[in-house]
Structure 1
Amino acid sequence: MNTQPQERRSHLRFDKIFTVYLSTQDGMMRGIGRNISARGMFIEVRDSLGLGEKLKVTFAGEDGTEMTCLCEVRYQVALAFGRKDGRPGNSRGVGLRIVAYETMDDAPLLLVDRERVMH
C-alpha cells in the first residue's frame, strides 16, 4: 500500500524564494514568492488580502527587467509555530491564480485562461 500523498497539480512548479511587489486597490506591498507555476503562485505577505481580490504582482530581475501579472486571491494561509529558540513564530500567505500577463504598458493583457461562459 502506497502511503505517499499523490500530487494533484498538473503544472510544473518552481520552488524558489524571490521578492515580488503586489499592487492592490489599497496601495503597494512587498511579498516573498515561495512557489510558482504556469497558473498560480503562493506568496508570503504581511497583511491579509480578501478572497477573490484582484491584484498585480510584479517580479523584478537582478538585471532590472520586470514582469507583471494580474492575479486573483484564491486562498489564505496563516501558520503559528514554535521556533528552535522557543519563541513563537508566525507566517501568513496567499494562494494566487494568474489571470493574465502584462506584455507592455500600452498593450492589453495577455490572457492565460478564459473562463467558460454557461448560457
Structure 2
Amino acid sequence: MAQVQVRERRAHLRFDKVFTIYLSTQGGLSRGIGRNISQQGLFVETRESMSLGERVKVTFAGEDGTEMTCLCEVRYQVALSYGRKDGREGNSRGVGLRIVAYEVQEDAPLLLVARERVMH
C-alpha cells in the first residue's frame, strides 16, 4: 500500500493550548474556549453562532490578571456532531477568527493598532 504524504499548508506556527477567552459582540459578552492560536488568527469553541465577516473583540485573560484584547473577524463556522464512548451524542460548535488589530493601552485610552493585512 502506498503512503500518502500530507503537506502542511499553514505558514505560521501554532500555539496549541486550551484557554478561556471572552468574546464581545453586538449581542453582548460571552465566554469561549480558545484553541490553536497563530499570528494570523485562532479557533474558538463557542455556544453562540456568529455571522461570517462579523467583527468580534477577543480578550485573553492570564492567570496573573493580565489581559490582552484583539479585534477579530469571523472567517468560518464549524458545527460538529459526534458519538461519545458512552453512546450518547456529543456536539461542538466554533468559529475561525482572523486577527485584524490589537488593543494597546498606554497613558491614553485603548487604541487599536492595525496589523499587516493578509489576503487569502
Cα distance between partner residues in 1 of 2:71 and 2:49: 18
Following superposition, the deviation at residue 4 of structure 1 comes to 3.1
Cα distance between partner residues in 2 of 1:95 and 1:34: 10
Question: What number of residue pairs does the alignment pair up?
Answer: 116
CA offset digits 1:7-33 (Å, max 9, x no partner)? 101000000000000000110010001
Cα distance between partner residues in 1 of 2:27 and 2:97: 17
Q: Matched residue of 2:36: which SS?
A: strand
Cα distance between partner residues in 1 of 2:6 and 2:20: 30
- In structure 1, what residue type is equivalent to 2:31? R
- In structure 2, what residue type is equivalent to 1:5? V
Give ranges in structure 2 of 5+ residues lacking alignment. none
Displaced runs of 4+ in structure 1, greater than 3 A? none
**Larger displacement relative to structure 2 (103-112 or 33-42):** 103-112
Corresponding position of 1:103: 104
Following superposition, the deviation at residue 114 of structure 1 comes to 3.2
CA offset digits 1:15-53 (Å, max 9, x no partner)? 000000000011001000111000100000001000000
Are residues 2 and 109 of structure 1, via their aligned partners in 2, closer, same or farther at CA, if it must alter by over 3 Å? Answer: farther
Percent of matched pairs sharing the same residue = 69
Corresponding position of 2:35: 34
Cα distance between partner residues in 1 of 2:27 and 2:110: 24
Q: Are 2:111 and 1:114 equivalent residues in the alignment?
A: no
CA RMSD, 1 decimal: 1.5
Q: Are 2:6 and 1:5 equivalent residues in the alignment?
A: yes
- In structure 1, what residue type is equivalent to 2:114? L
> What TM-score comes out, normalization by structure 2 length?
0.91
> What TM-score comes out, normalization by structure 1 length?
0.92
Q: Matched residue of 2:14: which SS?
A: coil
Cα distance between partner residues in 2 of 1:36 and 1:22: 15
